Amino acid sequence: MKAVPFSLGLLSSLLLATTAAHAADTIKIGVPTSLTGPYVELGEEVKRGAQFAADEINAKGGIKGRKIELSFADEEGNPDAGRRVAEKLVRSGFRLLTGPISSAVGLAIGSQVEKWDALYISGINKSDRLTGEACNPRMFRANHSDSMDMAVIGPWLKTRKEANWVVMAADYAWGRDSAGAFSSTAGAGGKSVKSQFFAPLGTKDYAPYIQQIKDAKPEGMWVAIAGRDAVNFGIQAKQFGLMGSVFTVGQSFAVPSTIKGMGDVAEGVWGVVNYTATIDAPGNKAFVANWTKSFGKDPANFEAETYVAMLALFAAIEKAGTDEPGAVAKALSTISFDTPFYGKVTMRPADNQLLLPNYIGRVARVNGELKTVVEMTVPAADAVPPPSKDCKL
């Protein structure tokens, strides 16, 4: 059913590419994301989030009469593929980019956008490098960074009694950053991190890692694994009796898509929650209702975060009065706009980071369904650490 408008879109984008006169009529946003690979489910969330935002604004007549046109491409969870397909999108006129899942892919694309005269806004990538040493005037982040997540974990961790921790993380930019940030946060709070384990992306059998974690006899476990890997790790850790006996906190670990795969295993897992349908904000109920009408289920975190990145782009295009990436970037660096669930949010020009509130929650049964329940809300003023000194914009 959905394939028809998509192929029509593709066809029309081909037609538009050949007739330059028409090309100016739509605002083109390129979405390179994981259509295959270990993060394919998260890629589907990004697709839905981007499409929902575009449909919503197009139904209202677009931005100043111009409709939004999306083009999706497959970054395969791989930086090389990501850079290749993003460049292809840029060459065919889609110079406003969002969508990659892995931070490594986001960085590979974000580092090129100045050269391509394009713009990249992350809706998913958490690695601090995007707004740290790798920052540039054409790269933005509309979602929570690792250090933003840690800024809320720090105070919360002090309230926990568990003293000995281990870290289990994915072996690439994001997982490494997350592990490092958690270790220093835990250390600062008087907790000790006994060992850190890193498993390659796409690991099938986590048993050797699980056994080592069990041997370390921790009281708490920080897990930075996402997507299908998270489901594998969760299920196997439960089978070994690790989960359930060790207090588990995760980053992007127990989110709606992985909770569905893990089932009961996810119950009781704590985590930083960047978005959940249960957030108690005035606009959120209407947003969730609209979303459910389109997709038949609650919006998941990556869907909502991609939606925010799209809203940021729309607001900046409107303010700039053009979709020229240079002008949009200039407008985006100080943009302020309304979101249904975070309230009014503002971009920080010092490192191009959107200032957002953050939440801590846990997975619990609500009316028989596993959902993420917010336990602690931290307003944007306290949730965002100062900009990195490594970023000079």
In the chain, what is the straight-line distance between the N-terminal and C-terminal CA atoms, in Å? 45
Which of the residues 181 through 220 are near other proteins (CB under 8 A)? 197-200, 202, 204-205, 207-209, 211-212, 214-215
Give the Cα separation of 138 and 337 in Å (integer). Answer: 19
Q: Which two tokens stand for residue 256?
A: 């709606």
Q: Which two tokens stand for residue 3?
A: 């394939």
Is residue 252 part of the contact set for other proteins (CB under 8 A)? no
Q: Give the three-state DSSP class for 171.
A: coil
Give the Cα separation of 76 and 204 in Å (integer). Answer: 18
* Amino acid making up residue 136: N
Give the DSSP letter of residue 388: P
- Residue listed under structure tokens 């408008």: 5
Stretches 82-90, 155-163, 180-188, 233-241: which one binds other proteins (CB under 8 A)? Answer: 233-241
Nearest to 361 by CA among 143, 191, 144, 149: 149
Q: For other proteins, how many residues bind (rule: CB under 8 A)?
A: 36
Among residues 30, 32, 37, 99, the one that binds other proteins under rule CB under 8 A: 37
Give min distance, CB of 228 to other proteins, in A: 5
Among residues 262, 273, 320, 356, the one that binds other proteins under rule CB under 8 A: 262
Q: In this complex, which beta carbon is closest to other proteins, that of residue 258 or of residue 358?
A: 258
Q: In this complex, which beta carbon is closest to other proteins, that of residue 197 or of residue 341?
A: 197
Is residue 125 part of the contact set for other proteins (CB under 8 A)? no
Contacts of 164 (CB under 8 A, 6+ apart): 191, 192, 194, 217, 218, 219, 220
Q: In this complex, which beta carbon is closest to other proteins, that of residue 78 or of residue 339?
A: 78
Q: In this complex, which beta carbon is closest to other proteins, that of residue 12 or of residue 195?
A: 195
Give min distance, CB of 200 to other proteins, in A: 5
Q: In this complex, which beta carbon is closest to other proteins, that of residue 232 or of residue 284?
A: 232
Is residue 141 part of the contact set for other proteins (CB under 8 A)? no
Q: In this complex, which beta carbon is closest to other proteins, that of residue 86 or of residue 231?
A: 231
Is residue 271 part of the contact set for other proteins (CB under 8 A)? no
Residue 207: which H helix or E strand, with range?
helix 207-216
Q: Which two tokens stand for residue 344?
A: 């009014």
Give min distance, CB of 217 to other proteins, in A: 11
Is residue 228 part of the contact set for other proteins (CB under 8 A)? yes
Is residue 9 part of the contact set for other proteins (CB under 8 A)? no
Give the Cα separation of 381 and 294 in Å (integer). Answer: 34
Give the Cα separation of 37 and 184 in Å (integer). Answer: 31
3-state secondary structure 80-131: HHHHHHHHHHHHCCCCEECCCCCHHHHHHHHCCHHHHCCEEEECCCCCHHHH
Quote the longest CA-to-CA distance of the chain: 66
Stretches 112-120, 232-240, 293-301, 347-355: which one binds other proteins (CB under 8 A)? Answer: 232-240
Cβ–Cβ under 8 Å, residues 375 and 155? no
Is residue 369 part of the contact set for other proteins (CB under 8 A)? no
Among residues 136, 145, 178, 236, the one that binds other proteins under rule CB under 8 A: 236
Among residues 227, 250, 271, 361, the one that binds other proteins under rule CB under 8 A: 227
Give min distance, CB of 207 to other proteins, in A: 4
Which residues would be at the binding site for other proteins (CB under 8 A)? 36-38, 40-41, 43-44, 197-200, 202, 204-205, 207-209, 211-212, 214-215, 227-228, 231-232, 235-236, 239-241, 257-258, 260-263
